[in-house]
């Protein structure tokens, strides 16, 4: 009898030990599962759908132009100007010729409107000026009398290009390139017209006495235009040079060029006031309050008219 009781006790102890081991194994497996799951969540990249706004424009070897000025929007894209709030254009120069050669450049951009995606694409589909191009990656419409290709991928947004819409659309979807810094985008949106370029090889000629060599030595150029009085715009420019020596040279060059233009136009000036217009802070050259005639500015941007 004692042998039987001992055997039972041993069997009961062994079963209890196996249960404890099985419980431990389940805990270990569950722990591993949680670790793998959380690790997978941490490393899985979820692509965010592009908003097609100025904040997503690429800055690598590009010149960016944006405006909310109805007159300029009407000039650049007259067929789409109705109910349009902002147009932002990306220019990828095709060469380093100075000034910028728009005809040799790749041009595309986004327009912000109050139209819904369905309303805009329906209007484009029924328009006598467009034809639809069904593409396996991205469908779009093409203007019959120009190279302009466009489509509304989101409510209130139109993506347009002068060539290869599917490639530009894919570029926005992937967004692997450097994009516009948020603080720069905000300053540009607050201006009537704004231009921006990082490490430019060429640029628009704004008649500010900035040479081709200086343009290529700059790290970034930010030009902000505000509406002035009597058909004028007021320019505030912020140019960051490669080093402080180059910045000092640029500051002197621009100031001398501006004074020469004033003398040529036989306009009076006060040196003390001019000193406030041209500021130097390390590598940053700031040019404040230069008045430009509306016709001159529109002449600079007139290259878009006809291209788009």
Give the number of residues written for the chain. Answer: 308
8 Å CB contact between 137 and 170: yes
CA distance readout (Å), 165 to 52, 135, 140, 213, 307: 14, 10, 7, 34, 15
Is the pLDDT score of 21 beyond 80?
no
Q: Which residues are 143's β-sheet partners?
A: 130
Is the pLDDT score of 8 beyond 60?
no
Q: What is the pLDDT of residues 84-113, one digit of tens each?
A: 899 999 999 999 999 899 889 999 999 999
Highest mean pLDDT: which range of 4-18, 40-54, 99-113: 99-113
Rounded mean pLDDT, 142-169: 92
Residue for token pair 């489509």: 151
So where are the chain's domains? 1-46, 54-307
Predicted TM-score (pTM) of this structure: 0.81
Is the pLDDT score of 161 beyond 70?
yes
Higher pLDDT, 118 or 256: 118
């Amino acid at each position: 009898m004692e042998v039987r009781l001992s055997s039972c006790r041993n069997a009961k102890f062994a079963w209890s030990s196996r249960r404890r081991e099985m419980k431990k194994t389940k805990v270990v497996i569950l722990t591993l599962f949680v670790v793998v799951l959380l690790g997978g969540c941490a490393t899985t990249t979820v692509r965010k759908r592009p908003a097609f706004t100025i904040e997503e424009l690429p800055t690598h070897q590009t010149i960016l132009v944006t405006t909310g000025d109805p007159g300029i929007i009407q000039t650049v894209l007259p067929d789409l100007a109705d109910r349009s709030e902002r147009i932002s254009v990306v220019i990828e120069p095709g060469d380093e010729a100075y000034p910028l050669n728009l005809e040799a450049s790749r041009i595309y951009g986004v327009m912000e409107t109050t139209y819904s995606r369905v309303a805009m694409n329906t209007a484009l589909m029924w328009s006598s000026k467009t034809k639809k191009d069904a593409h396996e990656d991205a469908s779009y419409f093409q203007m019959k009398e120009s190279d302009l290709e466009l489509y509304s991928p989101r409510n209130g947004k139109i993506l347009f290009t002068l060539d290869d819409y599917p490639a530009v659309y894919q570029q926005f979807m992937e967004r692997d390139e450097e994009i516009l810094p948020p603080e720069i985008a905000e300053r540009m949106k607050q201006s009537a017209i704004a231009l921006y370029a990082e490490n430019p090889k060429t640029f628009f000629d704004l008649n500010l006495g900035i040479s081709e060599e200086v343009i290529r030595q700059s790290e970034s150029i930010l030009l902000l235009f505000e509406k002035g009085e009597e058909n004028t715009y007021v320019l505030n420019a912020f140019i960051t040079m490669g080093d402080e020596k180059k910045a000092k040279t640029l500051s002197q060059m621009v100031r001398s060029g501006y004074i020469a233009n004033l003398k040529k136009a036989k306009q009076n000036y006060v040196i003390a006031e001019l000193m406030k217009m041209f500021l130097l802070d390390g590598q940053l050259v700031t040019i404040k309050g230069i008045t430009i005639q509306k016709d001159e500015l529109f002449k600079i941007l007139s290259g878009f008219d006809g291209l788009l």
